[in-house]
Amino acid sequence: MSSPRYLCIHGHFYQPPRENPWLDVVEVQDSAQPDHDWNERITRECYGPNARSRLLDDRGQILNLSNNYARMSFNFGPTLLSWLKTSAPDVLAGIVEADRLSRERRGGHGNALAQVYNHIILPLANAHDKRTQVLWGIADFRHYYGHNPEGMWLAETAVDVASLEALADAGIRFTVLAPHQAKRWRPVGKQDWAENPGGIDPSRAYTIRLPSGKSLAIFFYDGIVSRQVAFERLLDSGEKFLDRLLRGFDEARNHPQLMHIATDGESYGHHHPHGDMALAYVLDRLSRDPSIRLTNYGEFLELYPPEWEVEIHEKSAWSCAHGVERWNSDCGCRTRGDWHQKWRGPLRKAFDLLREQIDHLFATRGRECFPDPWAARDAYIEVILDRSPRSVRHFLKEQGHPDLDDTQIRDALRLLEMQRDGMLMYTSCGWFFDEISGIEATQCLHYAARAMHMAKHFHRDFEGKFAQALKPALSNLPEFKNGRGVWEQVIRPAVVDLDRVLAHYAVSLIFPPRETNTQLYSFNLDVLDQEVRGRGASHLAVGRLRVRSDQTWDEAETAFVVIHYGGLDFHTVLRSMDSVKEYENFKQRLIKVYRTGSMADVTTLVAREFEGTVRRLDDLFVDEQRRIIGIVLQDRIEDYQRTFERLSSVDDDVLNRLGQMHYPIPKPLREAASSYLDLELSQELAQLQPDGSLARIQGLYERGRTWGYQPEREPLEQSISQALERILRGLAPDADLAAIVAHAALLLDAATFLGLSPDLWQVQNQLLDAYVQLSDSNAMNPPLQNVFASLAVKLNMSQHLLGWRP
């Protein structure tokens, strides 16, 4: 009789923290287009789809949906969960629900594992950081999932005995490592150790006895199959993936076998498009196979406690053949073969130097705020998870000295934020790739900059020595030369102080957003007074503002003047004024001069009577800067479009004739005509009504076909997807159902005619959610049922799917 067979697929879902450290928000990243940033893009490609992955029938129709997280083992990085909470709460809800369902199905053992907080290489961390990273990871897990974790994922599976002691001290039961990290192993109670060149048997659990007397279970994943998933396109076919997993079992084994792999979660949809569907196919097939049980590590550990013990290779990791040197030196591990990584060692040394300085400052000044500064740091995760004043005051009551005054409270928060940034600067991704000026390494340098920014409040300036320590960190790019060049050109200009926040808000008053909001990222703005005037292309804004940081409770107040000369020419001045009366008198004189004088007179008055800190458009935070530039350029773009329309109309016959003669279309003619047609098609799609027709769209498209016009796909596809989402939000019993169906059908027909493939994933989800909501509220009726069935067919969904439940 064959031994029991269990299978577990683990996904390590993680992105490095991408937030601007001062703003606590991810700013626009052009490399992630058409999405706002990489978190948003990977959520669209991977994290979201795995919560509702598509299972297709033999005709390619969607037959069912799979929450892959409910049937696989997984961990999500805490900093990624924080971003999902605010930016993709529906995806986070699917992840949390999956863990709840798995606990119901697996005897109380959830699929979710915790992770060391911000993915630092634990063996290279000091003892304080090891402890805090583990405790923060556990607290973060408990915050989202509502229970304590059984297992914890180590960043890059980087491990040493001291790191395992930190896990065991915190109550963690197990972790997962790569097979080559096992040094030797033996049955419990035996004397002789085994060391097999072929590697450890990954099909069972092992225990490691720690010097403290504690022990921890370790699972060593199947390295061959895990590598094939990542690098050998195993996810191109669900059948191929399933077959390879099944071949991981060995009939020669006479013990209960656990076939398990550990992979980057981003493999399932981001690195490998539609990899989530291959995973869903495998999980669906295995869930219906009576000879194999899908499991997770906690359940298997309870069913089959370790009968073997193991020792590990100290300071080893899954992604470095040289121990943990990838995060410490130019070890040869790289992603681009023609670039060196000589900067890695000096960068680590610079951070270590800074860490020593900020740790000493924290330990000494921290005693003025806390009886035990390090215990306070361990508990600070509760504030990070909830920045409300009530949460902060509760934390200070529990961890601080009694009766801290306002100055001491700000000092306490600054010290703790300095420590938080001091850990975030060690995020492993900063060393993983090949260039110190890349977005991963510079993100870590930004955290270092903010840590030093916090230290300056205590009259400690660490920047000089730190910048000097970066000089040996040689860049591959001549424009930077070394780490100091990166610091001076990229990092230092990005530092955010309260004046910059105030200037940002002041400039934004010239072109206010549709919804005014005095919460500016991690800052609260109090508008004490403001007045905005416009004349021709110019504008003037004058006012008074107060700002307060949610993170450190630092405050500042200023008066401001913004002069917009037109175009992208802004001049902003901040100044502290002695009294409100002084400000009011100046404001009245300034507005009078603006109304009756020239812009030169306005500038002269400000220079003479309002001398202060000068800011320009460049000082705005990136998203707002882009918004204002877009508004300023809009009139010019419309002028170009009118010119393109005129040229296209005049040259329409010429273009058609050139196309008929197969004459290469001159680039200026092609660009002007294509730009005009793209804009016209976009406007027609936006204006399409339920009772409309595609005649105008067809005419525009046919007009350009003779000379080879091809629509710009991405903007038009995005426009159609967004329009469909808006339409389906109207599904309700009292809605005009026929109009909704007709409108959606027209848009889908337009996409087909133009050869476009809009992303329908969210639209399909909306249809299913609306159906479930209406059914559960007893609002479903036969006419409405027919509407949903009709739309399901048009969206390539089987009508049987309408019985689906999340």
pLDDT in tens, 149-176: 999 999 999 999 999 999 999 999 999 9
Scanning the structure block, which residue is given the tokens 């690195």?
A: 271
Read off the pLDDT band of 773 (50, 70, 90): confident
Q: What integer pLDDT is reported at residue 148 of this predicted model?
A: 98
What is the C-alpha to C-alpha distance for residues 715 and 619, in angstroms, rounded to an integer? 29
**Helix or strand run (H / E) with residue 74:** strand 73-76
**Helix or strand run (H / E) with residue 115:** strand 112-115
Read off the pLDDT band of 805 (50, 70, 90): low
Dihedral-angle region of residue 213 (phi above 0 means left; psi in -120 to 50 means alpha; beta otherwise): left
* Contact present, 489 and 443 (Cβ < 8 Å): no
> In this model, does residue 1 exceed pLDDT 50?
no
Whole-angstrom Cα Rg for the chain: 30
Per-residue pLDDT of 34-44, as tens digits, reads 899 999 999 99
Read off the pLDDT band of 496 (50, 70, 90): very high
Mean per-residue pLDDT, 384-413: 97
Nearest alpha carbon to residue 120 among 524, 457, 432, 530: 432
The structural domains of the chain, ordered by start, are: 5-115+141-152+204-314 (3.20.110.20), 326-494 (no CATH), 498-619 (no CATH), 643-803 (no CATH)
Beta bridge partner(s), residue 715? none
Q: What integer pLDDT is reported at residue 644 of this predicted model?
A: 66
* Contact present, 151 and 175 (Cβ < 8 Å): yes
Average pLDDT in the chain: 93
CB atoms within 10 A of CB 674: 20
What is the C-alpha to C-alpha distance for residues 308 and 186, in angstroms, rounded to an integer? 6
What is the C-alpha to C-alpha distance for residues 751 and 787, in angstroms, rounded to an integer? 21
Per-residue pLDDT of 291-350, as tens digits, reads 999 999 999 999 999 999 999 999 999 999 999 999 999 999 988 888 999 999 999 999
Per-residue pLDDT of 561-616, as tens digits, reads 999 999 899 999 999 998 999 999 999 999 999 999 999 999 999 999 999 999 98
What are 219's two structure tokens? 């699972």
User: Percent of the chain, pLDDT > 90?
Assistant: 76
User: Is the Cα torsion angle 666, 669, 675, 678 positive or negative in sign?
Assistant: negative
Residue 495: exposure state from Cβ atoms within 10 A (0-12, 13-18, ≥19): middle
Q: What integer pLDDT is reported at residue 639 of this predicted model?
A: 74
What are 108's two structure tokens? 């109380």
Q: What integer pLDDT is reported at residue 619 of this predicted model?
A: 86
Per-residue pLDDT of 89-142, as tens digits, reads 999 999 999 999 999 999 999 999 999 999 999 999 999 999 999 999 999 999
Chain-centroid distance, C-alpha 720: 25
**541 phi and psi, to 5 degrees?**
-130, 135
DSSP states of 149-198 as a string?
-SBEEPGGG-B-HHHHHHHHHTT--EEEE-GGGEEEEEETT-S--B--TT
SS3 20: strand
Nearest alpha carbon to residue 177 among 196, 191, 151, 157: 157
Per-residue pLDDT of 737-752, as tens digits, reads 888 888 998 999 999 9
User: Percent of the chain, pLDDT > 70?
Assistant: 98
* Contact present, 80 and 39 (Cβ < 8 Å): yes
Query: Among 183-192, 209-218, 674-683, which is the least confidently predicted range?
Result: 674-683
**What residues have CB less than 8 Å from 127, skipping those under 6 apart?**
162
What are 258's two structure tokens? 């656990």
**259 phi and psi, to 5 degrees?**
-90, 115
pTM, two decimals, is 0.94
* Contact present, 110 and 102 (Cβ < 8 Å): yes
Q: What integer pLDDT is reported at residue 648 of this predicted model?
A: 65
Mean per-residue pLDDT, 386-395: 97
**What residues have CB less than 8 Å from 555, skipping those under 6 apart?**
498, 546, 547, 548, 549
Mean per-residue pLDDT, 667-686: 85
Outline where DSSP puts E strands in 567-659: 569-575, 613-615
**Helix or strand run (H / E) with residue 525:** strand 523-535
CA atoms within 13 A on the CB side of 364: 9
Mean per-residue pLDDT, 499-511: 91
Q: What integer pLDDT is reported at residue 419 of this predicted model?
A: 98
Q: What integer pLDDT is reported at residue 782 of this predicted model?
A: 85
